């Protein structure tokens, strides 16, 4: 059906085939891809919409004036938590017995609203405190009071500044403050005391309210021995040359740490983190669940659907697979990242947390570049050491991520995958060599005499043939199994299972060998070993002279497989499947087109546009035919077909049989089936498998002759006459045995040597005169009888041993 074999496909041919398949697959998934790259943009829009709704509908923030309406919710919460806001006058700090701050006014100020707003600075540098106070408040005001020796800073902050447990409406919102606001970070629990001063607000306020203060400043002189540190958050928008900041900078002996607040946009996009703080984790979760595994998901999908091993079985090597997959996903990720970065400019929060995801660290890196681009000279190598930009961390994260993800993906492919049992270690002698030099009987075969039952002459003969071939240099037999054995180890409480026991088998080119046997006999286990899905426990097999334990990759280049369950890409058409596998088999140009067209025609997948229909839309029978077509494309020398005609209607079955019959001319085919009719029609030889071992082997005629030396006589009468019929048959042939009896219908096996067909007619005529015979028949044994007989005998003998 296909053209002549062109030898194994080169690395680049395989890469080309895979790339084309991936592009077609991607084209089919265009909608998903567009959605994928649009998600970040959609998410940004959603966040903004949420925020808008939240602000306008739920909070009414913009419509509520807190200066006139005390129930207005706080419209803005500064970004640096925790913050203490200045309380309204009735709640401000006053002198109490418990806290003897003598310079605070007494309680009466709360009634007339004259209590001062208080500010707490921490640190042990008095002069700095003076400078801070002097900078923020004009010197004409009585502003400075020094509080000493106070260690319980949190408690002081709460009491000196006013009650911290008051309801929010009693805090003066910063925006509408009529006195100076000074923010104190109360949780200063260690030596590094950090006063977070929002200078932007203080500065604005100072400029507009210079002479209207009623203010006390408390300065803790002893708390924190090493702490002279003040962390200033200075937005870029603030002019650093202003007097206030200069004073700060000149604070004697004080290390002033500047943290440039680069992301002022946050305030405008997310004025008050409520929605954003929900959306952030949601976004992160979505990223982890949906996007992180994009590449891995696809690799795992192919693995899970066994498509990876299917491609491998048809000759796709690890090299092209990894190269194309890697470059392909790199490209897809780049497109995704471009869209993401563009839309991510609107969404700058949570970037730090998300950096663990490689895409996000890339984003962070670009972001830092953008920030530095605003400065003279942009980012330089030495800036990597700047702890403020996190560029070094980003590069480290990306490098580690790259390594980890690459190794994880590769590890999944090598270790966890089906077929991992096959040793990928390159054989030291991977070149083909004369048969004799490496076709040595396996060690196990010497001990295997126990497995051989001496009464099975045909099976023994097969074993002798194997021994002989192993010592000859002939490669006339495409498949030689040498004491092949598969034992599944015990698991989940199930005992060890001997699925294939010491199998000796030879299949020459041009032969179709049928493997028959009841469910669970071990047929699929055998095929799985032969196609590299599982590893033999002991023994081995040689395909075209190559050992399946060590040369599976070479064997794949000349092998076709039609697995028991169809392994197809739902979104690729039948033609695209065949083009892909044809290319893997090194078919090119017109030879490829011709092979594909012939294949489609011969398997009845050509007419009515079926070839261009996606495989996901195929009926079960069409999928099956496509699987058979795939197994035969590129003229492989060895083909395995696991129940190829399952689910086919009679016409399609017939059509498929003809295809297989034509295909077997110059190749070895091993086929498993439950259809005796199929076995008889297609197979030159049959092997009956029961409980993992070969019970008999031979061509259909031989087997029928051997196991079918009897006629099957079936007769139906009323139930009362059963005994009489039985006596009658016994009289006719004393060795006859009853094999079936139900409601008057009885089936007898009568040795051919004991009767003549005319005698049977005679007996039935006599019986008809005595009682009613509803129906009767005499049949020669067919393959089904052989099957039943062999299975029964094998089970009986197994039960005895």
Ligand X SMILES: Nc1ncnc2c1ncn2[C@@H]1O[C@H](COP(=O)(O)OP(=O)(O)OP(=O)(O)O)[C@@H](O)[C@H]1O
Which residues are at the interface with ligand X (CB under 6 A)?
A: 488, 497, 499, 517, 519-525
Nearer to ligand X, 485 or 524 (CB): 524
Least distance to ligand X, CB of residue 689, Å = 7
Alpha carbons 313 and 51: distance in angstroms, whole number: 54
> In 3D, which of 459, 452, 366, 424 has the Cα closest to residue 703?
459
Least distance to ligand X, CB of residue 638, Å = 19
Q: At what angle do helices 574-584 and 11-28 cross, to 10 degrees?
A: 160
**Does residue 464 sit in helix, strand or coil?**
helix
Least distance to ligand X, CB of residue 694, Å = 12
Alpha carbons 440 and 542: distance in angstroms, whole number: 11
Nearer to ligand X, 260 or 488 (CB): 488
Nearer to ligand X, 490 or 759 (CB): 490
Least distance to ligand X, CB of residue 564, Å = 6
Nearer to ligand X, 515 or 584 (CB): 515
Query: Could you tell me if 521 and 415 are in contact, meaning their C-beta atoms sit under 8 angstroms apart?
Result: no
> In 3D, which of 549, 327, 534, 363 has the Cα closest to residue 442?
549
Q: DSSP state, 237? A: T
Nearer to ligand X, 357 or 488 (CB): 488
Nearer to ligand X, 134 or 520 (CB): 520
Tell me the DSSP string of 15-73.
HHHHHHHHHHHHHHTHHHHHHHHHHHHHHHHHHHHHHHHIIIIIS-TTT--TTT-TTPP
Least distance to ligand X, CB of residue 616, Å = 25
Burial classification of residue 491, based on how many CB atoms lie within 10 Å of its CB (0-12 exposed, 13-18 middle, 19 or more buried): exposed
Nearer to ligand X, 631 or 710 (CB): 631
Alpha carbons 304 and 317: distance in angstroms, whole number: 18
Q: CB-based contacts of 318: which residues, under 8 Å, 6+ apart?
A: 413, 424
Nearer to ligand X, 109 or 500 (CB): 500
Q: In what helix (H) or strand (E) does residue 368 lie, and over which residues does it extend? A: helix 358-373
Least distance to ligand X, CB of residue 309, Å = 15
Q: CB-based contacts of 654: which residues, under 8 Å, 6+ apart?
A: none
Least distance to ligand X, CB of residue 444, Å = 20
Nearer to ligand X, 524 or 710 (CB): 524
Nearer to ligand X, 497 or 747 (CB): 497
Least distance to ligand X, CB of residue 567, Å = 16
What are the structure tokens assigned to 543, written together?
């395909």
Alpha carbons 476 and 617: distance in angstroms, whole number: 42
Q: What are phi and psi of 713, to 5 degrees?
A: -105, 120
What are the structure tokens assigned to 757, written together?
């067909």
Least distance to ligand X, CB of residue 489, Å = 8
Query: What does the chain come to in residues?
Result: 801
Nearer to ligand X, 272 or 525 (CB): 525
Tokens 């010197």, residue located: 139
Query: Could you tell me if 287 and 357 are in contact, meaning their C-beta atoms sit under 8 angstroms apart?
Result: yes
User: What are the distances in angstroms from CA 25 to CA 22, 565, 627?
Assistant: 5, 21, 18
Tabulate helix, strand, coil % of the chain (nearest 5): 50, 15, 35
Least distance to ligand X, CB of residue 525, Å = 3
Query: Could you tell me if 217 and 195 are in contact, meaning their C-beta atoms sit under 8 angstroms apart?
Result: no
Q: In what helix (H) or strand (E) does residue 632 lie, and over which residues does it extend? A: helix 620-632
Helices then strands, counting H and E runs in the chain, come out as 29, 20
Least distance to ligand X, CB of residue 520, Å = 4
> In 3D, which of 148, 125, 121 has the Cα closest to residue 137?
121
User: Alpha helix locations (H) across 255-306?
Assistant: 265-269, 274-286, 294-304
Nearer to ligand X, 523 or 789 (CB): 523
Nearer to ligand X, 517 or 621 (CB): 517
Least distance to ligand X, CB of residue 637, Å = 24
What are the structure tokens assigned to 497, written together?
């299972």
Least distance to ligand X, CB of residue 787, Å = 12
């Amino acid at each position: 059906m296909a053209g002549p074999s062109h030898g194994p496909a080169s690395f680049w041919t395989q890469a080309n085939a895979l790339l084309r398949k991936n592009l077609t697959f991607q084209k089919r998934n265009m909608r998903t891809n567009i959605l994928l790259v649009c998600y970040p943009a959609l998410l940004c829009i959603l966040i903004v919409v949420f925020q808008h709704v939240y602000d306008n509908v739920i909070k009414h923030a913009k419509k509520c004036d807190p200066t006139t309406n005390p129930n207005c919710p706080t419209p803005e919460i500064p970004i640096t938590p925790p913050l203490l806001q200045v309380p309204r006058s009735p709640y401000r700090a006053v002198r109490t017995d418990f806290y003897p701050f003598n310079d605070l006014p007494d309680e009466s100020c709360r009634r007339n609203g004259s209590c001062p707003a208080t500010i707490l600075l921490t640190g042990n540098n008095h002069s700095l405190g003076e400078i801070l106070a002097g900078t923020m408040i004009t010197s004409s005001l009585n502003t400075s009071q020094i509080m000493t020796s106070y260690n319980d800073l949190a408690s002081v902050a709460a009491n000196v500044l006013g009650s911290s447990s008051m309801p929010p409406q009693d805090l003066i919102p910063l925006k509408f403050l009529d006195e100076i606001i000074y923010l104190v970070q109360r949780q200063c629990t260690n030596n590094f005391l950090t006063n977070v001063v929002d200078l932007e607000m203080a500065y604005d306020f100072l400029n507009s309210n210079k002479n209207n203060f009623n203010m006390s400043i408390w300065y803790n002189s002893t708390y924190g021995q090493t702490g002279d540190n003040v962390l200033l958050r200075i937005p870029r928008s603030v002019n650093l040359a202003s007097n206030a900041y200069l004073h700060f900078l000149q604070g004697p002996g004080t290390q002033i740490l500047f943290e440039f607040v680069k992301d002022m946009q946050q305030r405008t996009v997310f004025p008050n983190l409520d929605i954003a703080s929900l959306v952030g984790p949601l976004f992160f979760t979505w990223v982890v669940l949906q996007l992180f595994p994009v590449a891995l998901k696809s690799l795992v999908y192919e693995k899970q659907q066994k498509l990876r091993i299917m491609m491998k079985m048809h000759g796709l090597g690890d090299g092209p697979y990894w190269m194309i997959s890697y470059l392909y996903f790199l490209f897809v990720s780049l497109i995704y990242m471009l869209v993401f970065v563009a839309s991510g400019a609107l969404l700058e929060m949570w970037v730090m947390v998300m950096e663990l995801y490689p895409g996000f660290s890339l984003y962070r890196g670009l972001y830092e570049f953008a920030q530095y681009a605003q400065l003279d000279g942009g980012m330089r190598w030495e800036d990597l050491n700047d702890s403020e930009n996190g560029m070094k961390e980003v590069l480290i994260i990306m490098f580690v991520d790259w390594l980890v993800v690459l190794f994880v993906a590769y590890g999944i492919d090598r270790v966890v995958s089906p077929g991992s049992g096959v040793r990928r270690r390159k054989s030291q002698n991977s070149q083909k060599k004369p048969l004799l030099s490496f076709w040595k009987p396996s060690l196990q075969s010497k001990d295997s005499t126990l497995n051989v039952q001496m009464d099975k002459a045909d099976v023994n003969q097969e074993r002798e043939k194997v021994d002989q071939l192993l010592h000859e240099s002939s490669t006339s037999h495409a498949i030689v199994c040498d004491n092949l054995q598969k034992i599944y180890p015990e698991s989940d409480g199930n005992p060890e299972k001997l699925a294939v026991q010491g199998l000796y088998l030879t299949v020459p080119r041009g032969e179709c060998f049928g493997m028959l046997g009841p469910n669970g006999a071990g047929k699929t286990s055998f095929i799985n070993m032969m196609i590299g899905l599982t590893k033999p426990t002991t023994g081995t097999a040689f395909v075209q002279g190559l050992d399946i334990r060590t040369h599976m990759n070479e064997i794949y280049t000349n092998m076709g497989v039609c697995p028991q369950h169809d392994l197809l890409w739902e979104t690729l058409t039948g033609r695209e499947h065949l083009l892909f596998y044809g290319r893997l088999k090194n078919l090119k140009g017109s030879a490829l087109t011709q092979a594909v067209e012939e294949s489609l025609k011969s398997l009845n997948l050509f007419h009515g546009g079926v070839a261009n229909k996606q495989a996901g839309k195929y009926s079960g029978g069409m999928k099956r035919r496509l699987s058979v077509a795939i197994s035969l494309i590129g003229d492989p020398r060895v083909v395995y077909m696991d129940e190829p005609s399952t689910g086919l209607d009679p016409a399609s079955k017939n059509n498929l049989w003809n295809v297989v019959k034509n295909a077997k001319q110059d190749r070895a085919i091993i086929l498993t089936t439950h259809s005796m009719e199929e076995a008889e029609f297609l197979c030159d030889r049959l092997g009956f498998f029961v409980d993992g071992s070969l019970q008999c082997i031979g061509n259909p005629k031989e087997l029928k002759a051997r196991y079918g030396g009897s006629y099957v006589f079936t007769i139906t009468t009323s139930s009362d006459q059963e005994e009489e019929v039985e006596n009658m048959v016994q009289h006719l042939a004393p060795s006859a045995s009853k094999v079936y009896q139900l409601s008057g219908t009885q089936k007898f096996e009568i040795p051919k040597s004991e009767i003549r067909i005319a005698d049977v007619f005679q007996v039935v005529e006599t019986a008809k005169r005595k009682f009613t015979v509803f129906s009767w028949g005499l049949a020669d044994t067919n393959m089904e009888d052989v099957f039943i007989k062999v299975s029964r005998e094998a089970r009986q003998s197994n039960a005895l041993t």
